[in-house]
Structure 1
Amino acid sequence: MPIWALDSGHATEGDFYTELPVVLHAARLRQSVNAAPAAVTVIDREMIDASTATTIPELLRYVPGFQLSYKNSHELIPAFHGLADDYSRRVQVLIDGRATYSQGSMGSITWSTLPIDIDDVERIEVVRSPNAATYGAAAYLGSINIVTRGVTGAIETSSRLDIGSNERISGSVRHSGEHEELYYMLSTRYEQNSGFSNRHDDLNSAFLNFRGDWRLTTRDKIEFAIGYGNTNGETGFDGELYAPLRERKINSHYQRLSWRHINAADDEWQLSLYHNHHAVENPLSDDYPDETVAGKDIGFSSDRYSVELQRIQRINENFRLAWGAGASYDLVSVPWFYDYFDTQPVKEQEKRLQWQLFANAEWQLTPSLLLNLGISYENPDWDGSHVSSRVGLNYQVNQDHSLRAIVSRSNRPPSLYEDFSDPEFIYGDPFAPLDNDPGSETESVKTIELGYFGRFSDQRLTLDVNLFYNHFNTLILKLDDLEPDLYEKLSLYERAGLDAQISYRGEHDLLSLSYSYVKSLDSDEINDGDGSYDLVSMYVPEHILSLLYSHHFDSGWTVSSSLFHVDTVRWNYDAGNEKATTWADLKIAKSFKTAGGDVDLAITLQNVLDEPGVTLRESSNAPTKGGRQFLATLRHRF
């Protein structure tokens, strides 16, 4: 077998689904889902094609515990088990191992600017457990690794055209090939739309990506990728004092370079470097008056430089280890921010350096009992050092049934904005917890999990159940939609719940059912009359459910339907749903061959019954009226 057949970064779909799905992201080691030290959901290419999702964040609705909000049509905000506002800053998002986190964008991810299309994705691994012991503070409550389609060297060209509601039109082209020992792929995409009918959120965006693998020897190769994106869109509302109408221009680019030396499946060195650039111009609309608190350009620029060395090795037949070190250096320019909080000196650039040491070990204690140990040491220069850790036990009852028990502790230092936010500067003292600055303490959570994974019906049906308990020592909450963004600190919060996922893969059928129940636990220490407990409880919907069913006919037709349910939730003071929301999507697709290549046609109808509140962004300023969405898609591969 050639050494590259052992390359965990480029396993084929057949490798991942011959028996049980294999994940690479939970512990930096190749593991089956029933051996991972976490609850993991894998969204593979078959599920992506069957789904009614039209964007990558919408795919997360099929993962237990995730819900999705729209600040507007192009600012999508996924949240895991609630605790979300306008910025998703507690779940790490990686693209082929490159972090997309930005200190400049409020410590979160701007999904619409990521240079990746839903057709670029091979699979998505979602760790539904705190994963800071593996990937550091950004994976505080979980992590998402988006794995793009491999650079195989096969010469292939494909194109896609989408036309849909809200004047949406988009087109993309992808080409892959090889030149001697260089395997490459080039992709580009353009989209424009008029946004929601009741919002100022027009959008046009474009990106260009180039990826390559250069095989130096049978054991060494260089992987590289570069990408550029440009996005122009509108945000805000007419006549609003604290959320005025703005013209937003976003320019972003990235570069990634890595060297891999692979001796065997569990004997590998990897050195990776990447740079992310994100620049935003966010001035007021030309016809908007200047005499407001928000009367200025709240743009920024952010650069992150990162380096990481990782070693994977098998110590003996029962013990594997992944260990390494990394550092990231952030340069953020946000001079307007210090104008609001004049207790801080104005800086042209904020500089932040963070180091990380990590190790994850897998120890086969007995043929049935597997021990996973993980630890991460981080030393951010603005917060002091801290350690995140995890211990997991997986017990294999038999080849089809297993149990897991996990105990972990994760830490997250405050983002730049949380660190300097001071509500008392503008509002006085509206909340009791404001004795200290919100960013004066690191968030910390202790988690206990008990899980079960089983296979039934000739191993076509799988069931994954995870019980969890979270004890937060500190929680930093965004107050509301005002500019500038302000935060308060909650000293203690507890919750418990259950995640479950049922998946069925038949010859012609695909079924995925996910459910999540989360209960905020009443505690005398936090329910002290200041309203903080009620505030955080509103962020957490108790019940979330999603159902995907797809049937493929021998004639080439495929029919898919999705059903979603999200309980009462408020993302902040004036955005949310005051009652549970249920809606359904429908998709019809046809594949056929022509002399010029393979052609796929699809029609997707989201929110078929036009149910209100589906965007989960109801607002007294601009209430949504449901919003049935239509999309027609044409793909051509030749």
Structure 2
Amino acid sequence: MAGMHIQLVTLSALLLVSRAAATELSENDYFGELPTVLTVSRLAQPLNETPGAVTVIERETIRRSGARELADVLRLVPGYLVSGYNGANPTASYHAPLDDYGIRNLVLIDGRPVYSAYYLGGTADGMMGVLLEDVERIEVLRGSNSAAYGANALFGVINVITRHAQDTHGVEASVSAGDGAIRDNYARIGWGGPAASFRLSAGRRSDSGYANLYDDKNISQLHFRGDLRPAPDQELLLSAGVVDRSSGEGFADQPANPPRSRGWRNIHLLGQWRQQSGPGEELKLTASFNEETLRERFTYPYDNSVIVSGDGFGRRVNLELQQQTQLAKQLRAVWGAGYRYENAISRPLYNTDDPVALHEERLFGNLEWRPHPQWLINAGGFAAHHSRIGGYFSPRLMANYLIAPQHTLRFGMTSAVRTPTLFELASDVRFHPQDVASLLAANKRLEALLAWAHQPFLLYKASGGAQPERLKVIEFGYFGNLSELRLTLDLRAYLEKMEDLLAKDRRANVAWYVTPANPFGIPAGEAIPVQDFRNTPGLRSRGIEAQLRWKPFQTTEIWLNQSFQHLHWEEDGNRPFPPSRATTIAWFQQLPGAWDITVIYQSLGSHSWGAGSGPLPTQQRLDARLARQFAIGTTRLEAAIAIQAANGSLPVYAAGSAMQLERRLWGTLRLAF
């Protein structure tokens, strides 16, 4: 309660100062129309009419934040936690840190989903496959959106929109270097005209990860984007890219998970054609292809004859047709159909050389109805048939009530779904131990018994019975565009109930049992355990979050994010939990002489990322960036220096671990002409 009182006092003080400044400057100096977003209902809607809470982060804010990774940008979004089980795998989680891979967020880059088809459906790798310098803005829906996008949009949608090629003509390059072996490079060239414009971007990011851990990473990527106008009423977007990532994995104090190298490559293609035949009338066709390849292997330390591997690759093809139409003056709709095909090929993960595959057919739609000038109703849903689990449906009903021209209330409910991944449905991870003596010396009695009996050791053997996770949400919100105070305020209160949460489960392997005659000390008649995935009761969560953006002067912008949350697990156990309160304050200030400064402060209450990791203590983190811009003829230059964790190194992910997010200082030089 003390933390809440402090934030309310802070907010009151901000409002009083803003009133004092209101007589000096006109609201038109600061606010035009509200941003229009597409992420929530697939219809273009201003922020006060969306059926959900949205945070929009523009290109200038991304640059001035000093963030090097997309995950780090999400620290500016209320309710998001950013960490990672090591420094090479930054992960963002909304509300509840339920996994290490970000599998319950849907991440889109220009409409292309980037979750993994190969392993656990994670987004950690895919989020690193974008160059922040190419990003126009990021729209983050804070809440469930399976009603528009289906599976994976369980706890939010992160929609990354890259810059139109026509806006990036010319050349831009940058270089960064500093502590933590930071070595970043970026180069871009753009060319063309109104009928056809193109961009080619290349970049490399590398650093040494967390302190006291083997988790360095090196990401190299090349991206192409073309924007064409085949006809006056048509647009065609073409993009392609390749991302190569190498990183350190493993832990020196865990013999079964030793330090090693990991290689990941991603290739993607995207084509998007749209035709606007009139006001409110649009037809869009999207096709995308994604392929990822993983290379990771090491010798099992207790048996040199065994190679532990995660090698393999996965592919996804996504096709979608969408139509937007104006049915009547106060009624418009969007609907569409799509097809998704995924497969994975990996003997280490699936015990076969054949593809393990799934496909899904889907229909979706949203109806926006304005029965009265003060009321706006959004009703929508997503229906799909999944080849392995059958059909599912995700509906949404939300209402926005315009109390006054600048004040909107929203309330409603939605139901979301996450379908099991291929690994959760069909994994078969096994190895064949052979060295009985070495395994006994290491006290690995079970593996020694299996080696003696010439049987495989099963790490995972999915039964195929995993069912979708389901989330039901009741939401209340307020959006205020207080132009006389030159600020916007977005409040979201929610009640969430998650059912059928998928979790790892040790079950008996009915294939065989321990016989009475064995010299290994294992009780006779005991079944050999194997990891599977099962649906568990889930959790309940409630909370409130707020985002305030205030621009008291033309050169000053302040963001204040505040969230309070309570989470209850339906099943006892050592479970992860979010911070009960979290605060972020960001100050963006332009200074005389083409200088600007950014300061970002974040405070998190105690929280836990995973079972067995232990709760992290209350943390404060302070980041800052100072930059100066120059112009030499038509060439624009910027020199910047940034510091991360300026208030000192922090423990990350696991309490009691030697892993630390170190204080880091680096510089960046950028030029464009």
Q: Which of the five TM-score ranges fits, normalised by the shorter chain?
A: 0.7 to 0.9
Q: Percent identity?
A: 27
Name the residue aligned to 1:578. 616
Please name the residue that 2:275 is paired with. Answer: 261
Say which of 537, 542, 561 aligns to 1:491: 537
Cα deviation, residue 495, structure 1: 1.3
Letter in 2 for 1:207: Q
Question: Does residue 1:405 correspond to 2:405, yes or no?
Answer: no
Q: Distance in 1 between matches of 2:321 and 2:34?
A: 29
Q: Do structure 1's residue 304 and structure 2's residue 320 form an aligned pair?
A: no
CA distance in 1, matches of 2:136, 2:670: 16
* Contact preservation (8 Å) 1:474, 1:493: no
CA-CA distance at 1:334 after TM superposition? 2.5
For 1:95 and 1:47, the matched residues in 2 are separated by 18
Q: What is the deviation of 1:423?
A: 12
**Residue matched to 2:468:** 442
Equivalent residue, structure 1, for 2:653: 617
Render the CA deviation track for 1:268-325: whole Å, top value 9, x for unaligned: 111110100100000127xx73628984111220110110000011111101111000
2: distance between equivalents of 1:199 and 1:619? 15
Aligned equivalents of 2:139, 2:415: Cα separation in 1: 21
Give, as a single letter, the amino acid of the residue that structure 1 aligns with 2:114: T
Q: Structure 2 vs 1, CA of residues 309 and 459 (structure 1 numbering), >3 Å: closer, same or farther? A: farther
What corresponds to 2:456 in structure 1?
A: none
| SS of structure 2 residue aligned to 1:569 | coil
Residue 147 (structure 1) aligned with residue 161 (structure 2): yes
For residues 64-463 of structure 1, the aligned pairs below 5 Å read 64-111=78-125, 114-152=128-166, 155-178=169-192, 181-284=195-298, 289=301, 291=303, 295-339=307-351, 346-420=352-426, 440-456=466-482, 458=484, 460-463=486-489
Larger Rg: 2
Taking a change above 3 Å as real, the CA distance of residues 418 and 619 of structure 1, as seen in their structure-2 partners, is farther
What is the deviation of 1:178? 0.4
Q: Is this contact kept in 2: 1:75–1:112, CA < 8 A? A: no
Q: Distance in 1 between matches of 2:465 and 2:246?
A: 32
| Range with bigger deviation, 23-32 or 233-242 | 233-242
Kept in 1, the 8 Å contact 2:102–2:124? The answer is no
Contact 2:69 2:128 in 1 (8 A): no
When residues 423 and 232 of structure 1 are mapped into structure 2, their CA distance, relative to the original with a 3 A threshold, is closer
- Deviations, residues 404-440 of structure 1 (Å, cap 9, x unaligned): 002111121111222246999999xxxxxx9x96952
- How much has 1:625 moved relative to structure 2? 3.8
Q: In structure 2, do the counterparts of structure 1 residues 187 and 53 end up closer, same or farther at CA, with 3 Å as the change threshold?
A: same
- Are 2:665 and 1:630 aligned? yes
The amino acid across from 1:547 in the alignment is I
Give the TM-score normalised by the residue count of structure 1. Answer: 0.88
Contact 1:188 1:208 in 2 (8 A): yes
Contact 1:422–1:487 at 8 Å: present in 2 too?
no
One of 462, 467, 471 as aligned partner of 2:497: 471
Which stretch of the first structure deviates more once superposed, 500-509 or 268-277?
Answer: 500-509
CA distance in 2, matches of 1:221, 1:289: 56
Residues 358 and 422, structure 2, Cα contact 8 Å, conserved in 1: no
Counterpart amino acid of 2:556? D
For the residue of structure 2 that corresponds to 1:139, the secondary structure is coil
Q: d(CA) in 2 for partners of 1:575 and 1:628?
A: 23
Matched residues in 2 for 1:439 and 1:245: separation? 34
Distance 1:422 1:575, change over 3 A: farther
Structure 1 stretch 545-554 or stretch 128-137: which is displaced more?
545-554
Question: What's the CA shift for 1:327?
Answer: 0.7
Determine helix, strand or coil for the equivalent of 1:296.
Answer: strand
Over residues 187-235 of structure 1, what are the superposed CA-to-partner deviations in whole Å (9 max), with x where a residue is unaligned? 0012333333311122222111111012111012321001011111211
Whether 1:561 and 2:573 are equivalent positions in the alignment is no
The verdict on how the C-alpha distance between 1:111 and 1:247 changes in structure 2, with shifts beyond 3 A counting, is same
Question: How far apart are residue 68 of structure 1 and its match?
Answer: 0.6
Q: Which amino acid aligns with 1:409?
A: S
With over 3 angstroms needed to count, the CA separation of the structure-2 counterparts of 1:521 and 1:570, relative to structure 1, is closer
Q: 1:454 to 1:260 in 2, by over 3 A?
A: same
In 2, Cα distance between the equivalents of 1:507 and 1:399? 24
Q: Secondary structure, in 3 states, of the residue corresponding to 2:144?
A: coil
* DSSP 3-state at the match of 1:49: helix
1:564-592 Cα deviation digits (max 9, x unpaired): 12222221134354311111111111112
Alignment of 1:593-612 (within 5 A): 593-595=631-633, 597-612=635-650
Aligned pair 1:517/2:552, yes or no? no
Q: How far apart in 1 are the matches of 2:612 and 2:175?
A: 37
The Cα RMSD (Å) is: 2.7
Equivalent residues of 2:88, 2:248 under 8 A apart? no
Aligned partners of 1:618, 1:316: CA distance in 2, in Å? 55
What residue ranges of structure 2 are gaps of 5+ in the alignment?
Answer: 1-27, 432-445, 448-459, 507-529
Deviates more, 1:560-569 or 1:195-204: 195-204
Letter in structure 2 aligned against 1:255? L
The secondary structure found in structure 2 opposite 1:570 is: coil
Counterpart secondary structure, 1:419: helix
Pairs aligned (count): 594
Establish whether residue 35 from structure 1 lines up as the match of residue 55 from structure 2.
no
Alignment CA distance shift 1:261-1:609 (3 Å)? same
Distance in 2, matches of 1:462 and 1:37, equals 17
Q: Structure 2: which amino acid aligns with 1:610?
A: G
Q: 1:319 to 1:180 in 2, by over 3 A?
A: closer
Q: Distance in 2 between matches of 1:277 and 1:445?
A: 30
1:485 Cα deviation after fit: 8.1
Distance 1:371 1:292, change over 3 A: farther
Distance 1:608 1:153, change over 3 A: closer
State the partner residue of 1:502.
548
CA distance in 2, matches of 1:578, 1:196: 16
Deviates more, 1:440-449 or 1:148-157: 148-157
Whichever residue aligns with residue 72 of structure 2, its letter is E
8 Å contact from structure 1 (residues 193, 202) kept in 2: yes
* Alpha-carbon separation, structure 1, partners of 2:607 and 2:483: 37
Return closer, same or farther for 1:112/1:352 CA change in 2, 3 Å cut-off.
Answer: closer
In structure 2, the residue corresponding to 1:137 is in which secondary structure?
Answer: coil
Alignment partners' CA distance in 1, 2:168 and 2:349: 49
Q: Distance in 1 between matches of 2:164 and 2:608?
A: 39
Q: Secondary structure at the match of 2:34?
A: coil
**Contact 1:551-1:558 at 8 Å conserved across structures:** yes
**Secondary structure, counterpart of 1:572 in structure 2:** coil
TM-score, normalised relative to structure 2: 0.83
Q: Which runs of 5+ in 1 are unaligned?
A: 1-13, 340-345, 428-433
The letter of the residue matching 1:491 is P
CA distance in 2, matches of 1:545, 1:422: 43
Inter-partner Cα distance in structure 2 for 1:292 and 1:619: 33
Shift of 1:596: 5.4
Larger deviation, residues 75-84 vs 367-376 = 75-84
Superposition deviation, residue 460 in structure 1: 1.7
